[in-house]
Amino acid sequence: MFYPPNTHTLQAFLQKESTLPYSYIQVGQTRLVDKVSGFDNDYNVQVLGQGEAVWEAARQAIRAWQMFPEDWTRIYPQPAPIQENVVVVMQARVLGWWWINSCRIVYTIDTENSFGFAYGTLPGHVEMGEELFKVEKLPDGTVHYEIKAFSRPRFWMTRLGYPLARMYQRKFVTESKAAMLAFVEAKTKNGL
């Protein structure tokens, strides 16, 4: 699609995908292991700042899905609750085309010093795998944002365009870290 999909299209896709199983068998592995065999494994960290205001802003950013670069990625429905089994449509514009992908939240994290979630791909996603988005407050008060993922192409076009797919994954990570940092800085500068 050359234009972002309309609400009717997104809702129909969401309903269809909501009842389907994950497209991979290693469900929950972002929590358990550092690397998943047979997949591209990525781990990235961004320091967001230090202190309670930064911590609260970072948690707020995750709750609002602010880690998705808004000029070429979107989440539907927005805001989607951060709860296990919630299904979302992740939209991405690649080379001028809008693609829709389905994901389900596998698990959530909500402790005194860690907050986030992992979602896994459903059959309507061009990739297969899982991605963790987490913020953590370290003992010294430093707050960082962590993205951990394992993935591999599922759709034939993604396999064919593997170098392009990996380039867009790296672009997402870079822009996601920047989006989180910008959100946190704006919130702490202007007050929560």
Classify residue 40: in a domain, yes or no: yes
How much is the average pLDDT of 164-172? 88
- Of 136, 16, 25, 22, the closest CA to residue 85 belongs to 22
Under the banding of pLDDT at 50, 70 and 90, the label for residue 4 is confident
For helices 52-63 and 162-190, the axis angle rounded to 10 degrees is: 130
Q: Which domain holds residue 137?
A: 7-190
Q: Is residue 1 part of a domain?
A: no
In this prediction, residues 95-122 reach a mean pLDDT of: 96
pLDDT of 138 higher than 70: yes
CATH number at residue 174: 3.30.530.20
Distance (Å, whole) CA 170 – CA 122 = 21
pTM: 0.93
Over residues 142-153, mean pLDDT:
96
Number of domains present in the structure of the chain: 1
For 156-167, what is each residue's pLDDT tens digit? 676 677 778 888
Residue 157 lies in a domain: yes
